[in-house]
Amino acid sequence: MNPVYPEGWRRSLTQKIAKRGVHLVLGDRIEDIEPRNGVVKTTAGERIAADLVVSSLSYLSLLKFLTHGIAIVGAHTRSSP
C-alpha cells in the first residue's frame, strides 16, 4: 500500500480489511517474527497476539538513499479469470 496506489484506493482497502477483523499495523515493524507465548512486540512497544506472522518488506524504504531525479516506477499486472 505504497504511494504507487491512489490514496482513495488505499483508504478503501484499509477499511475493508478492518471490517474483516484484521488488525493492520502500518509504519512499524517487529524484530522477531516468531511469536513468544502467542505475542509479538513492535519496535514501538505495541504487543500483538499472533498465531502466525506474515512477513512483508517494502523495497522502497531500502532505496531512500537514491538522489532526486531517479524515478521508482511500480508495475501493475492484469489477468483474466
Q: What is the mean pLDDT of residues 8-32?
A: 85
If one compares 27 and 18, the residue with the highest pLDDT of the two is 18
Q: In percent, how much of the chain has pLDDT > 90?
A: 9
Q: What distance in Å separates the CA atoms of residue 35 and residue 33, rounded to the nearest whole number?
A: 6
The verdict on residue 73 lying in a domain is no
The verdict on residue 75 lying in a domain is no
- Does residue 12 carry a pLDDT above 90? yes
pLDDT on residue 63: 62
The verdict on residue 36 lying in a domain is yes
- Does residue 77 carry a pLDDT above 50? no
The verdict on residue 23 lying in a domain is yes
pLDDT in tens, 21-57: 887 787 788 878 788 888 889 899 999 888 877 777 6
For residue 2, give every residue at least 6 positions away whose Cβ sits within 8 Å of its Cβ, in sequence order, or none: 58, 60, 74
Q: What is the mean pLDDT of residues 57-63?
A: 63
How many structural domains compose the chain? 1
